Structure 1
Amino acid sequence: MASIPVDKFCPEVLYGEGCAYIDSCPLEHDVYICELCVVVISPASKHGYHIRGPLHRQNLRLAGELPGRSGAVDRRRCTVCSMSVPADAWGIHLSAPTHKKHEQLAILRADYEQAEEDKQGVSVSHAEDGISFGVVSLEQAMEGVKTEVTVTTETTQWTTFLRTQVRSRISNHEELFTVTPHQKNSALKPDQPLVFTVAFRHNQLGRYNARLEFTFQTAGRKFIIARRLLVAVGDYDERELLKPVMPFARSRHAPWYDPDGPVLRGEAPQRENIKWARDMPHFFIPGELAEILRMRSPQDIIDLLRERCFYEELSQANHLDHFATLLWIEEDRMTLDLRMYDMADVEFTREGKGYLHSLHVHGLAEKRPSVTIGDTILVQTPGTGQTFKGLVHEIQDERVLVHFHTSFNATGMRYNVRFQLNRTTLRRQHQALVAKIPSPQRLLFPVPGFEGLDRPLTAAESTLELFNSRIGTNPEQLQAVNSILHLKTGSAPFVVFGPPGTGKTMTIVEAIQQIIYRDPKARVLACAPSNSAADILAQRLLALTQEELFRCNAGFREVGSVPSELMPYTYRSGRNFGLPSLDQLAKYKVIVSTCLNASFGYNIGLPEGHFTHIFVDEAGQASEAEVLVAIKPLALENTRIILSGDPKQLGPVIRSSIAREFGLEKSYLERLMDRPLYSGEHGRGTTYVKLTKNYRSHKAILRYPNEKFYDGELEVCGAASSIDAFLGSPQLASPEFPVMFHAISGRNEREASSPSYFNVDEAIQVKAYITSLLNDKRHPVEPCDIGVIVPYHAQVRKIRRLLKEGGLVDVKVGSVEEFQGQERRVIIVSTVRSSADLLVYDAKFTLGFLSNARRFNVAMTRAKALLVVVGDAAILCVDPLWRGFMNYVYQHKGWRGDTPTWDVNAPVCVDADYVDELRDVIAAEMNSVIATLPPEQDLEAEANVERGQWGPSNSTNW
């Protein structure tokens, strides 16, 4: 079934008779819903294209309609399951197990919520917001806080109070609340209210929820009145600091018009006038593909692309077309993503007497949006098509300085702003794809016969005089270096498979040094996907002279981002980076660059085959086309290609779900490793070497990812003084087990127009751990030794702000991607997503990319001596990988916080769908309330009164 991306569209347009507040409604209205295919089409004008498409025609045939007939199949909407069903299949749907499960939950939910209503003339206080203790400090919570609840009656009918009971899905929450009960079977009288004392006591931060139920009896019938119990334990000022700055509302795109005249262009910033030997074509998106991508429904696009573009398996014959199409699909998504940063009704400020104008762009310092010098910014006068094209000349924190045409007037004017995608790196990838090479099979689809070595070399065979003596104590590293030095001409790329902490970059650096030491004519190009990774390579090669090593940077790279020790190895042209002469470039023995900037050699005129060796470190993080920029244009038969990385860790960041569907997320390294030439023992030692000695982590930290991702082959080899640093620490739940999971039930929140989530409770708990660690003088640690990994940018910003208030700016807080290739003595992970607002129908979607195995692997393998995970166990347990990890921690007594809601000793099935189990837990919680009532009460009949009101917008909160 096609997915329905309804979250940005107004539900009154999708499901009702139209929106009455179209002028003020922040959601989109230009949409048509095809009930037959259960997809939305936006803009609505594309409806005709959809009904002529293969998905709609196929559904017409399946429904028994002929394409030439008008009208759609009669369909009915099941509000319980939130889906559209053909009328002739309605009976089948109602009897299906999934519908039955949803209906059971819906009935129970209605009954459960009805229990919170006053009834039979009896009233319980705190009806509006529940029994809330508000925010209490940890000290207050440890001492205990109390409040009173009053029960009154307005009827003279004999009513008896029977009992109270506290219930919670998380069992230990029930124990935190106590109720000082009145004598059971107490009679309720109009003039004699019953007053109950409700107390809360706990010794941990977090948000705690439960439900207090009062059971009464009148005229032989029992009934329940319930109230929610809520308390937040933490510092009030910290919560105020982190609360949403304003309610979340999706941003409204600035209206944009086709230009009504010539687009006047500003001047580009000055840069070195490099004489390129080759022109780089534009490689614009073909019109037919662009039209398909405008269909908007991802499933329709995928179906049509599979029919027209991706109908064959990837091969040498279709490699160019396959990846060129994927790049165009990704470009389309990147362009759409930039629309998120469109700005409406903003002012420019003229800078000095020139034609530079400054604009404040919120998030610019964090690369949201990512703008570099030389980029294009379009501006329009609101309500018109008058358009100016500005060129970015300078970036200052959150200000961008733009050069416009002399006719641009900023005085008293307001403009709409649109950022244009810089296509340079995309064009370089297309250029690499079309480049001709003498032996494409050995690089792209190597088969047996292309092995780099006839047999594996042993460490004992090496007679190398090592630059780094540590490699001599590691047989796999020594084997890898020796193998690279003996690779045959015309062989397939050789892979150094380096799991976390095994020293793959150290191995690559040693190999480069050996190559240029043994062969004065050798020329090496060493690349990595990111500037930071390329800088690390260059820094480890600083034993070379400035005449031997060149760190090649993109022209407009920020000078301040380059490590100071590398500056003498760069080339500056005025304020920007540049390239030395072709003759000088040819003399360098080693040139270090990012993959996407590596096309400089080809375009400036270095001859094919100039580099005898091309290395790509962290190759698993780059897309195939990105790596080929460094390899394909200049590689000849005698060029040795060496890739290093870990296909089990993060792959390339691909924005388009459609491009991911067709394989762009699979790196060149991973694709090669999946080929028979690299498989198992056949390729080990001849096409790849796997490093197995881990110098980073304590055995407790390494054990779970080692078993799940590396066949248990990794050996713990770190120095005891490093990896055992926190054993016996009072911060540990178990003194000899430096891994902790802190289960906390928080709340997902968003603010302003940002779609990113944050969790205040987890942020406060993270800070509490950091503060405790820094105050532990027996196990000293510096702020710079602590890293916090967070999957959501909004949570990154909240934690950074909280730490900044406490003077802890040296603690690094960032995404999983930012931490790949890095390590810290202490790693704290905040998973953010919480079950407090979990829609169980879509629990896996709610979990989001936390369920990505590679993200999990990277996050869990950054720590040397202490790993702490803070998260909501009740939602993470839906994913088998997370469930297994939490079982591992719990069984080794590393658990803190809320009690697990599942059997931690039961085997974990890798392919299991644990969403049903979560639904069952929720159903059991609600059913326990209903079970206390007598069977003669017709609860389903009462629930049916509410059932007709259920719809997609009011059934999301449990």
Structure 2
Amino acid sequence: MPSKKQKAKNRRNVSTVNWVENKDGTHSIAVASKVKPDNTQKGNSWVQLLNPDSGKSARKYTTDENANTVQFEEMTLNEVENKSNDDIAQIQRLIDMKRGKLEMCTLPSYDIPKEIWNSAETGKQLRFGFPIEKCRSSADYYVKTYETMVYLEEAAQTLFVQSFNQDDVDFSYTGENQIFYFMKEKRMAEINGAIDENLLDCFVLEPHKKSDFFTVERYSGQIKRKSAEKIFVQMSEESFSKFNSICMEQSFDIRFCLNRTPYQLQHFALDILNEQRLFTALINNPKYDETGNSSKTPPEILIDFSPNLKLNPEQKLAVQSIVNATSKPLPFVLFGPPGTGKTKTLVAAIEKIVRLTDKNVLVCGQSNAACDEIATRLIPALTEDEMFRMYALSYDVHKIKSDIEPYSNRIGKEFHYPPLQFIMKYRVVICTLCTAGTLTRANISPKHFSYVIIDECASAHETMALIPIAGLCTETGKVHANIVVAGDPKQLDAVTKSDQAKKLGFGTSFMEHLFERPLYKCDPETNEFCGKYITQLIRNYRSHESILKIPNELFYNGTLLAKASDDATNWFVNNSLLPSKKFPIIFRSVQGNSERSDANKSMFNTNEVNMVMEYIDKLLKLKLKNGERISQSDIGVVTPYKMQRRCISQACHRGNLDDITIGTAEVFQGQERPIIIVSTVRSGGNKLGFVNNPRRFNVMITRAKCLLVIVGDPHLLQYCSNWRKLITFCLENNALVQSRYRYPSI
């Protein structure tokens, strides 16, 4: 009998399944096989069509690749099953998914109050009827404060989105499914970034040349996907015909609309928290102020850890605690510093829950990338009947990975929310925090999910973390699920546009608030956490010990242990590129002009761009001691500024270096590369901007496995204590490459 892994592999190789529209407007399912059936001649391919309404018959189309002939043959469902059981299972899954749709309540509008709009536009501070530092002391204060912060953030994001509005834009029809595209060089990189952050969703078009005699016609649509030079949009059904007939004759003004759903869902979660009286259970539980009891209770579920899992002691402890719900009804925290195997631990816990219990798991992440990473790692362990990866309807279908697709809610060229009964068949459901709100709106049973796991919790607003909890697994005064929050509060926090919301504390995550309470704090005497409620992973399998040293001392109290293999970290030891042969860090001193872009006010530094490109050139020409060469995909370039990222990207593109990853710290959080080049951009004077941000500093210098190159101005960076410590460390190890403006030796 084939193993589960082999069966999963076979399933992924057999066929591609899509919906086909019939002439009468109904739909059938087409299965295009990658394997030639026994009864077809050499060179033939075949497609099966199954009518989802009857489920009783199918047609087989056999086409000869050398001749344009098509043969038809009626087949019974049993005969189709004999061709491939895996194909039929996939077909049946699509039929079940398409039979209905998820019935959801309509979200209240939650329009931004006028006084908050005025405050966001003018910068005038809002007044509260209570001391803001008391906002977590009562449910009323809490809901009022967080409602205001969500409104402020939405207002700030709305103003930001409106800054992307374009005039005099030409549109072209792709010929596919009401999809058009436009090209506009002005701010295209920023528009692409905003799309990636799910900020730009819907839009309204109106003719650029307006008549004084007729009402202006408006056309609505939605952004579907993007490329480097084009934005693809889908016009609404009511707009398509008219727009298609005139789009080639004139240009349009495009007005972007903010995707309001995440903000509505945050308000909805706050409403449920208030109505179900969950403030004491979730936000200000008196037990948070107790001291953790280190005594160990025998676990109810004994876990046999296979050597194949390769879990270390801390990871095993975390899995044991998660599966046994040791912290319930309080949240369990998985504290995962860089490179310590947080995702691996979560995946192991999810697999054990499925194999050792009959309970269901909801897994959420702040980003689709985090959700996809967990789903990908679970594929070898879970079948398509056990795991469901649910994407938002607005997600770009072109981004979905082929191995995840059989587990997803994709049907043809779009995503579909299937009926609740369909979703509840799965043991593990994976989606973003925002998409989890669809389950709350569908009134799923609060006892259906026994575990709710929130990855990247430290980089999500607290109100976002409430979406998969409040109303989804709660009733009045009670949380039914074991809540697991995973992340690292020492890395980047939630991105917050509103300065006023930031000052009120909106950027502080639910996870970080837990860290402030005695129950989740490290014991100063033992330097340990209470394992019943929190586990810190301490073994770093990513970085060379020299690269790990400074962040370990600055942010993790020296608790991290460098456990990466020499094969992964010693590529450059004794290499001529290193100023200090056994020290794989280079700090290259560069003084240049840090300029500000007129288009987006972001900063860039041409001298640093040139130096980054010089190092890339050296690296790609270099031969390692094992005779191998560096590939482009081994290199990552991280910079705090979006304009610097764009300048470096353009320079790489001109040199056909498109496989090098270039991004901000936000892009690189959760990623790693053998080689990381950091461009700090700022130079001269004593103003550091958010280069001074300790979390951003931590992320930028902990992505590298075997070589860290910093390109920056040490004369400026020394004004930040964290950067000064790193500069001093490089000086001590003869790794600071001086410019003509020498940085003083120790």
TM over 0.5: yes
Instruction: Tell me which residue corresponds to 1:732.
Output: 578
Instruction: Say which one has the larger Rg.
Output: 1
Instruction: Tell me which residue corresponds to 1:146.
Output: none
Q: Distance in 2 between matches of 1:272 and 1:834?
A: 60
Distance 1:852 1:486, change over 3 A: same
Instruction: Tell me which residue corresponds to 1:877.
Output: 718
The AA in structure 2 aligned to 1:653 is V
Instruction: Report whether the alignment pairs 1:523 with 2:360.
Output: yes
Distance 1:306 1:891, change over 3 A: farther
Instruction: Tell me which residue corresponds to 2:160.
Output: 337
On the 8 A contact 2:201/2:222 being kept in 1, the answer is: yes
Instruction: Tell me which residue corresponds to 1:895.
Output: 736
Instruction: Report whether the alignment pairs 1:859 with 2:700.
Output: yes
The AA in structure 2 aligned to 1:633 is G
Which stretch shows the higher mean deviation, 310-319 or 566-575?
310-319
Pick the aligned partner of 2:520 from 658, 664, 678.
678
The AA in structure 2 aligned to 1:432 is A
Q: Distance in 1 between matches of 2:201 and 2:500?
A: 30
Instruction: Tell me which residue corresponds to 2:539.
Output: 693
Instruction: Report whether the alignment pairs 1:367 with 2:204.
Output: no
Instruction: Tell me which residue corresponds to 1:593.
Output: 431
Deviation, 1:459, is: 12
The AA in structure 2 aligned to 1:664 is F
The AA in structure 2 aligned to 1:693 is R
The AA in structure 2 aligned to 1:292 is S
Instruction: Tell me which residue corresponds to 1:567.
Output: 405
Instruction: Tell me which residue corresponds to 1:313.
Output: 135
The AA in structure 1 aligned to 2:375 is A
On the 8 A contact 2:194/2:200 being kept in 1, the answer is: no
Distance 1:461 1:435, change over 3 A: closer
Q: Distance in 1 between matches of 2:674 and 2:179?
A: 46
The AA in structure 1 aligned to 2:232 is V
Pick the aligned partner of 1:642 from 484, 496, 503.
484
Task: Map residues 199-210 of structure 1 onto 2, 5 A cutoff.
Answer: none
Q: Distance in 2 between matches of 1:897 and 1:614?
A: 51
Instruction: Tell me which residue corresponds to 1:291.
Output: 118
Partner deviation per Cα, 1:569-600 (whole Å, 9 max, x = no partner): 01223421112322221110001111111112
Q: CA RMSD in A?
A: 3.0
Q: Distance in 1 between matches of 2:288 and 2:494?
A: 29
Deviation, 1:866, is: 0.7
Instruction: Tell me which residue corresponds to 2:218.
Output: 388
Task: Map residues 742-891 of structure 1 onto 2, 5 A cutoff.
Answer: 742-751=588-597, 753-779=599-625, 780-835=629-684, 838=685, 843-844=686-687, 847-891=688-732
* Partner secondary structure for residue 721 of structure 1: helix
The AA in structure 2 aligned to 1:874 is H
On the 8 A contact 2:677/2:709 being kept in 1, the answer is: yes
Please report the TM-score for the alignment, with normalisation by the length of structure 1: 0.61
The AA in structure 1 aligned to 2:699 is V
* Partner secondary structure for residue 865 of structure 1: strand
Q: Distance in 1 between matches of 2:362 and 2:306?
A: 20
Instruction: Tell me which residue corresponds to 1:326.
Output: 149
Instruction: Tell me which residue corresponds to 1:444.
Output: 283
On the 8 A contact 1:528/1:618 being kept in 2, the answer is: yes
Q: For structure 2, which runs of at least 5 residues remain unmatched after alignment?
A: 1-97
Q: For structure 1, which runs of at least 5 residues remain unmatched after alignment?
A: 1-270, 906-958
Instruction: Report whether the alignment pairs 1:707 with 2:544.
Output: no
Deviation, 1:396, is: 5.0
Deviation, 1:329, is: 0.3
* Partner secondary structure for residue 364 of structure 2: strand
Task: Map residues 409-558 of structure 1 onto 2, 5 A cutoff.
Answer: 409-410=246-247, 413-436=250-273, 437=276, 439-448=278-287, 455=294, 457=296, 464-466=303-305, 469-472=308-311, 474-488=312-326, 490-520=328-358, 522-542=359-379, 543-558=381-396
Pick the aligned partner of 2:206 from 367, 379, 393.
379
Please report the TM-score for the alignment, with normalisation by the length of structure 2: 0.77
Distance 1:884 1:638, change over 3 A: same
* Partner secondary structure for residue 648 of structure 1: coil
Distance 1:327 1:290, change over 3 A: same
Q: Distance in 1 between matches of 2:417 and 2:216?
A: 39
On the 8 A contact 2:680/2:691 being kept in 1, the answer is: yes
Instruction: Tell me which residue corresponds to 2:55.
Output: none
Q: Distance in 1 between matches of 2:495 and 2:305?
A: 36
Distance 1:536 1:741, change over 3 A: same
Instruction: Report whether the alignment pairs 1:614 with 2:614.
Output: no
On the 8 A contact 1:621/1:667 being kept in 2, the answer is: yes
The AA in structure 1 aligned to 2:154 is E
Deviation, 1:556, is: 2.2
The AA in structure 2 aligned to 1:390 is S
Which stretch shows the higher mean deviation, 895-904 or 458-467?
458-467
* Partner secondary structure for residue 874 of structure 1: helix
The AA in structure 2 aligned to 1:764 is N
Pick the aligned partner of 1:282 from 102, 109, 122.
109
Q: Distance in 2 between matches of 1:413 and 1:901?
A: 59
The AA in structure 2 aligned to 1:676 is P
Instruction: Tell me which residue corresponds to 1:400.
Output: 232
Q: Distance in 2 between matches of 1:278 and 1:461?
A: 39
Deviation, 1:499, is: 0.7
Deviation, 1:776, is: 1.8
Q: Distance in 1 between matches of 2:288 and 2:193?
A: 48
Distance 1:885 1:765, change over 3 A: same
On the 8 A contact 1:774/1:783 being kept in 2, the answer is: yes
On the 8 A contact 1:358/1:400 being kept in 2, the answer is: yes
Task: Map residues 214-229 of structure 1 onto 2, 5 A cutoff.
Answer: none
The AA in structure 2 aligned to 1:345 is D
* Partner secondary structure for residue 496 of structure 1: strand
Deviation, 1:893, is: 0.7
How many residues are aligned here? 620
Q: Distance in 1 between matches of 2:551 and 2:431?
A: 31
On the 8 A contact 2:309/2:348 being kept in 1, the answer is: no
